[in-house]
Structure formats: structure tokens, C-alpha cells
Amino acid sequence: ILTPVARVAFSVFAFWQQRDQFYIIVTLIVLLILVHGLLTTG
């Protein structure tokens, strides 16, 4: 379950190093959706 979250979090850092603001924002939105889904289910 944590593998997709870890991959998205790693992508944020990769895009941060490339200074690609659009993909940073999109990836952060995806990360928030994943974390929200993990916290609200169960």
C-alpha cells in the first residue's frame, strides 16, 4: 500500500531537482489524493 505513495513522493523530489513547477504541483495533488484515500478508508 505504501509503494504508490513512496513512488509519488520520490517523483516530487525528482521534479523539485529539475525545477519543474507544473509537475511538482500535479504530483503533490496526486499525493494528497492518495494520502486522503488511505486515511479515510478503513
pLDDT value for 23:
96
Q: How far apart are CA 27 and CA 19, in angstroms?
A: 13
| Cβ neighbours for 14, distance < 8 A, ≥ 6 positions apart | none
Residue tagged 486515511 (cell numbers): 39
Q: What is the pLDDT of residues 1-42, one digit of tens each?
A: 788 889 999 999 999 999 999 999 999 999 999 999 989 976
pLDDT value for 42:
63
DSSP state of 19: T
Beta carbons of 16 and 24 less than 8 angstroms apart = yes
| Cβ neighbours for 9, distance < 8 A, ≥ 6 positions apart | 31
